[in-house]
Structure 1
Amino acid sequence: MDLKLFFDAIDEKLASEALPNDSLFNFIYVNQHKMPEKEGLDIAIIGLNEIRGNNTIDTSGTEQIRKKLYSLKKGVGSCNIADLGNLRNGPSREETVVRIKEVVFHLMEDNILPILIGGTHDLDFGQYLAYENQEKLVSILNVDSRFDLEDEKEVSANAKHIHKIFTHEPNYLFNYNHLAHQSYLVNPSALKVMEQLNFQSFRLGEIREDLKRAEPLIREADMLTFDISSIRNQYCPGGSQSEVFGLTGEEACQICWYAGMNDKLSSAGFYEYDPKKDIEGQPTAMTMAVMIWYFIEGFKNRKGEKGFQTNDFLKYIVSMDSAPETIVFYKSQLSEKWWMEVPNNARKGVYDRNFIIPCDFSDYEKATKGEVPDRWISTVAKTSS
């Protein structure tokens, strides 16, 4: 694939601003006059200015985010990052989604993690479609104050994109975890749908009580899709639907740190920034830039925790009083994180990637008391359906 056919170069004025030598800009391969080479890249930033899913948004958001991101410091450690520029819109919104699919798939095939910035939240459908030909099931982490499960024709595309993902054929969605929904913005019927599908959701209040409880859900994800309207408007007045209540900027950055550290996660998207709603100093663009910075820092700190039969993991077998007879747990000696083994009761080979799922110490404690962890039950229900 010739990537330069899909992208517009970065505005020269933006890329030529005088920045200190230790600024992140000086450590990014920026598409100014020439598309960066893919060889050796770890992360590729992709700007999106497609707004036909919610045409009230201004298209200049990616420029504002880049200004703030470029000005941040390099951080600790190293990885090779390229800013590919802005993806050119297709003749229709649907064609833009197809272009996102093709570009994201192409990058992931070369083991490059794409970070999508800007545009409307429905564009994550293209991000999801990029996994269609990978012959594996996918787990999604969505951070949003709403569920976006509408199915009526009259509503905007960014209000029904999750419904579109749930009903897409072929179905290769294994798990969907939702963080930071606000109960007064969610139809109770949507919660019932989540329960029926054995998908998990953590409302804002639960995250506020203990964000670490959400870490196993974040660690399970193949792709992250983040609607910045889930962040309270004190931090993100430029979120297209930001409310008085929501995540703090610090909580959003912590989620991004966990997501970046997830060895399994292979794409991330940050959507719904409307610069014309932002205020002096562009605090929304700054919040998004810092979120991306923390995601990148998390990426640099990945441990490569994939081989559960290696000496990096301790194996614990817990005997149960009733079915199942035993539950097997793994604890990483690198990160102290926990995983749990779940029987594969469905088609062999299809669910192998999800055979060992992230959990936490409380799941192990629960099993030692003779109780089957909820994560074990919900995963068995999904693989048996």
Structure 2
Amino acid sequence: MNLSIFFEPLNEDLFAMFSKPRTLGTYISRFVSSFPDWRAADIAIIGVHETRGRDKTSTATETTDPPARAVRKKLYSLTKGAGRCKIVDLGNLRPGITLDDTYLRLKEIVELLVSHNTIPVIIGGSQDLEFGQYLGYEHLERPVNMVTVDSRVDMLEESDEPANRKQLRQILMHEPNYLFSFGQVGYQSYLVEPEVMGTLEKLHFEAYRVGEVHKSLQEMEPIVRGADLLTFDISAIRHQDAPGYEPANPFGLTGEEACQICWYAGLNDSLTSIGFYEYQPELDERDLTATTLATMIWYFIEGYYHRKNDLQFTGNKFTKYAVGFHDNPDKMVFYKSKHSEKWWLEVEALSAEKGSRIVPCSYEDYLQATKGEVPNRWVVTQARLG
């Protein structure tokens, strides 16, 4: 497939000043006159200026500039980290005639990149674009795991609601259904209907309030480590650190917490795409949000180049721990990586025919098991396995 037909080239004059030694702009091969060789790249940056899924009652005057433009300017000027850097910038996706056409274009692009082990970094655009990102995994014909960082749970049913408030429902209703697990990080209770949270609980999905993230950010790492794809709604970040969204929210993640989550995502050997959505540059005073987003992407890139390849549980890369329970012949098996010191938990399915699944966990899960308590992560995973 000729990917270049889907993209608009970038204006080289805009980025010339950021091609200084040791900046990322020097190392990123971008689509200006010729399309970069994305097959040889580890990471591909994609801008998507698609906002038809957003609430049209917004008081902001929408700019004609793609949201990715301001982010690129900040990202290109950041200092490159240590080690290799094989990154391409494919330019801006040409929107489809309809919103559904854009989803399908994004699906084809994500599918092709993932098939060639190139990670798409999508800079949107409204949050409903994550539906197109998710569709890009249909070809795998296996269950996938998704994590979204958002202050709301976008699962409304009303037909008159904007697309970016109900795309999670689209994902859950999509056939074939290949979503194995879903994790919601950073939601705020006063922005989410109780019925929606009840639905997530019935589906054995995990959801963590923003207060839980503040209390123990490290406990979010296993959630992110289990994801094949991750999406980040910029409105999950408090307005002080990222004012470029509407409606304004004085509460949420800090910029530092957002960067830490992106670092976790980069380190995740399983993660093959990431999307950043809902950035509105017309609301971004002094480009503060663009700087925050660029730094988040920088941490994701750095995390990627520090991956440990911790997905093979045979050999001598792991230490295996078996935890027994009083008056119960069953044991709970944990694995600890000798390289990264991260923990995994083996969960047996209720049906013997379905085997077992090894999922990321935390040291706290292991300690809980040693006290004779069954970790919640084991319970919800077994329920999903059936």
What is the TM-score with the length of structure 2 in the denominator? 0.95
Q: Which runs of 5+ in 1 are unaligned?
A: none
Structure 2 residue 314 is the aligned partner of structure 1 residue 309: yes
Correspondence list, 1:174-193, <5 A: 174-193=180-199
1:295 matched to 2:300: yes
Partner of 2:172 in structure 1?
Answer: 166
**Is the Cα–Cα contact under 8 Å of residues 27 and 85 in structure 2 kept in the other structure?**
no
**TM-aligned CA deviation for residue 78 of structure 1:** 1.6
Q: Kindly state the Cα deviation for residue 375 of structure 1 after the two structures are TM-superposed.
A: 0.7
State the identity %: 48
Partners of 1:141 and 1:43 lie apart in 2 by 19
- Name the structure 2 match of 1:336: 341
Alignment of 1:27 onto 2:27: yes
Aligned to 1:38: 38
Contact 1:50 1:59 in 2 (8 A): no
| 2:362 equivalent among 360, 364, 368 | 360
1: CA distance, partners of 2:296 / 2:226: 19
Q: Which residue does the alignment assign to 2:162?
A: 156
**Corresponding residue pairs, total:** 380
- Cα distance in 2 for partners of 1:179, 1:18 equals 34
Match of 1:202 among 188, 203, 208: 208
The answer to whether structure 1 residue 133 and structure 2 residue 139 are counterparts is: yes
- How far apart in 1 are the matches of 2:351 and 2:193? 32
Deviations 1:80-128 (CA, angstroms, capped at 9, x unpaired): 1000000111100100000000000000100000000020000000100
Partner of 1:271: 277
CA RMSD of aligned residues (A): 1.5
CA distance in 2, matches of 1:315, 1:94: 47
Deviation for aligned residue 1:79: 2.9
- CA shift, 1:260, in A, is 0.5
| Residues 7-156 of structure 1: pairs in structure 2 closer than 5 A | 7-54=7-54, 55=56, 56=58, 57-60=62-65, 61-156=67-162
- For the residues of structure 1 that align with 2:266 and 2:123, how far apart are their CA atoms? 15
- How far apart in 2 are the matches of 1:267 and 1:322? 45
**What corresponds to 1:253 in structure 2?**
259
Measure how far apart 1:265 and its partner are: 0.4
- Taking the aligned partners of 2:13 and 2:329, their CA distance within structure 1 comes to 63
One-letter code aligned to 1:235? D
Give how far 1:169 is off.
Answer: 1.1
The question of 1:3 aligning with 2:3 is answered: yes
Separation in 1, partners of 2:367, 2:27: 44
